[in-house]
Amino acid sequence: MIAALRVIAAAILFLPLASFAALAGGMAPLDALVAAYPEHLAGHEGNELIWTDGTRTAISDGVAEKPFDVLLDTADIDDMFAIPYPPGRPSGEPALNVDPGRVRNTDFFIKMYGDCRDGEVSQRMKSVRWVDGSRVRVTSVNGLADRLQQVADELGELPESFGKFLAPSAGTYNCRVIAGTKRMSMHAFAAAIDISTEVTDYWLWNEPVDGRMPDRNKVPFEIVSIFEKHGFIWGGKWYHYDTMHFEYRPELFLAAGERPAGF
């Protein structure tokens, strides 16, 4: 079974970019990207992504079939769609190295949200009232703070028993790289939030069993569903799971045939 899942994962990883719209019934990936961020993106032409300020960015670096670690470290823009994100209730454990949304082109997000090392991100922050009444700060770019406030308001309507998963928040903005890498975290763009660490799991906190990371999750899907409704993907759908982690990636929902609230 595990060997079969690895074959499936490899096949998914290297499907042609244009195949995903047909696979999921959603928008073509580059169209989804433009539709997700209309304040920043005007369109795409050939191998170029066109920004509303007139600048152009290469979409593909021309390197196909990158090994997984290379894919993470050298992702171009079309690589961000290499592993489709599956909205909705999980149907089983992720296959080996299937981390939908974890493949990111850092330069793309720096251009859109700013570079935290230069103080650009902190200048665009907005306060959000979290479910326990505390305040968290995230970027106002792309209306993200307003969307997270909608998430918090809806989470606050869940039964009190859900509160232990949500509060206190483990953090939003943090100008840092991902642990053990040189890649910028989505927290560095103030575009992610971690819920409580008390009842969540992270793959590096556990040891592999028979060469595979055991899937672990305690977060109720009712919480995940509210985040996804507003365009936030969940790290609990990754083979390298991070079940406390949610980040704003509406393009992945549009490519999967789902429209987040407001789209």
pLDDT tens string 136-185: 999 999 999 999 999 999 999 999 999 999 999 999 999 999 888 889 99
**What is the pLDDT, as a whole number, of residue 198?**
87
- The one-letter code for the residue type at 5 is L
| 3-state SS, residue 242 | strand
Please, what is the end-to-end C-alpha distance for the chain in angstroms? 39
pTM: 0.88
- Both tokens of 102, joined, read 């974890």
Place of tokens 């970027």: 139
Kindly report, residue by residue over 24-36, the tens digit of the pLDDT.
Answer: 468 999 999 999 9
Mean pLDDT, rounded, for 47-72? 96
CB atoms within 10 A of CB 37: 17
Give residue 249's pLDDT band: very low, low, confident or very high (50, 70, 90): very high
* Over residues 192-201, mean pLDDT: 91
What is the DSSP secondary structure assignment for residue 239, as one 8-state letter?
S
Q: Is the confidence at residue 263, as pLDDT, over 80?
A: yes
Are 99 and 79 a contacting pair, CB within 8 Å? no
d(CA 136, CA 173): 9
Instruction: Please say whether the beta carbons of 138 and 126 come within 8 A.
Output: yes
3-state secondary structure of 13: helix
CB-based burial label for 170 (10 Å; 0-12, 13-18, 19+): middle
The span from the CA of 177 to the CA of 16, in Å, is 29
Q: For residues 142 and 248, is the Cβ–Cβ distance under 8 A?
A: yes
Tell me the pLDDT of the chain averaged across its residues: 89
pLDDT at residue 210, as a whole number: 62
DSSP state of 232: E
